[in-house]
Amino acid sequence: MNQGVARQKIVVTGADGQLAQELKFVIPEAVFLSRHDCDLARSDQITAILGTILPDLIVNCGAYTQVDRAETDQDTCNKVNAIAPVLMAGFAKKMIHLSTDYVFGADAVRSRPYRETDTPGPINIYGASKLAGETALLKQFPNALVIRTSWLYSTCFGKNFFLTMQRLFAERDQVRVVNDQMGTPTSARALAQVLGRFIDNPSTNGVYHYSGQGQATWFDFAQEIKNLLGASAQVIPVKSNEFITPAKRPHYSVLDKTKIEQNLGISILGWRDQLRQDVQEFQCRIAHE
C-alpha cells in the first residue's frame, strides 16, 4: 500500500473470521473489531464504537453466515447483514463491503457466469439479507464498494470447507461430498491481497465480483484438496438431496470476473493453481492457527 493510503484510519470488522485474519498480513495497521468488540446485531454498539474511532475506511468482513440457522433466525441475520452495513457506512468516508454469490441462485439453468449487471435472485434467507444490505448500502452511499465472492477458504484460519475436509480426511476412510452444486473456490489470502489493491484505489465504487477462475463442484474441490494433501480417504460424489438442509443452496453460482480484471488490472489464477499455492504456504503459517 502507498504511504498516503497507509495513513488512513482503517477499521476491519469480523476480526475472527478467515478473511479478516488474512487481511492482518495486508493492512496490519488497521483496527480489527471482532464480534466481542462490536456486535453487528446491536446498533448501540456500532454507534458507540465507530463514533469513537471515526474511521476513514471500513472494510466490512463481518456477517451472519450461518446459512441454515438464518432460516429460523431471520431477525438477527437481517440486523447483521442488511441493517448494520448502512449504519456503519455513516461513520466513515468510505465503505468496502463483502457480499456473496448467494445473492444469485434462482435461475434453474445457467449457460454463463453471473455478471455484476445480472438481476439477483436469492433462494434463501441468508442470500436475501446480503442482497438487502448491499442494495441499501449503495442506494444511500453511492461511493461504497461491494465485492461479491464465493466458496471462501483459508488453509489456516476460520471454519471453512478446506479445513473441514482436512479434518475429515484424517478421521475417515470415506467422505461423501455434493457433486451437483457448481461454483468457484476462492482463496481468502488472495482476496485479502485484492482488497489491498482496492484500498489503494479509493475512488472505485459499485459492485465487483471476485473468486478464483474456473468452476467446480464441492466434490471437485474436495478431490483437489485430497490430492494436494496426499490423503488416502475416498471421496464419494453424492446429490444435494442426500443432504437435507433447512436452506436451499444454488445449483449454480459461478461469478464473472471480467470487470475486476479489467478495472483493477489484475490476472486471477485458476482455483486449482491458487489452492496449490495456498497449500504450499500452509506449513509456513500453521503457527498462526
For the stretch 192-218, pLDDT in tens is 999 999 999 989 999 999 999 999 999
Catalytic position from the list 126, 153, 208, 210: 126
Q: Please state, for a pLDDT cut of 90, what percent of the chain lies above it.
A: 89
Dump pLDDT digits (tens) for 151-184.
999 998 989 999 999 999 999 999 999 999 999 9
Cα gap 207→204, rounded to integer Å: 9
Dump pLDDT digits (tens) for 96-154.
999 999 999 988 677 899 999 999 999 999 999 999 999 999 999 999 999 999 999 99
Burial class (CB in 10 A: 0-12, 13-18, 19+), 289: exposed
- Quote the DSSP letter at residue 233: P
Catalytic residue list contains 126: yes
Q: What predicted TM-score, i.e. pTM, was given to this entire model?
A: 0.93
The neighbour count for residue 264, using CB atoms within 10 Å, is 17
For the four alpha carbons of 65, 71, 72 and 74, in that order, the dihedral sign comes to positive
Cα gap 235→218, rounded to integer Å: 11
> Hey, what's the torsion of the CAs at 7, 13, 17, 23, to 10 degrees?
-10
The pairing of beta strand 152-153 with beta strand 186-187? parallel
DSSP 188-207: HHHHHHHHHHHHT-TT--EE
Interacting residues of 280 by C-beta distance below 8 A, sequence separation 6+: none
Cα gap 289→43, rounded to integer Å: 31
What pLDDT, on a 0 to 100 scale, did the predictor assign at position 147? Answer: 98
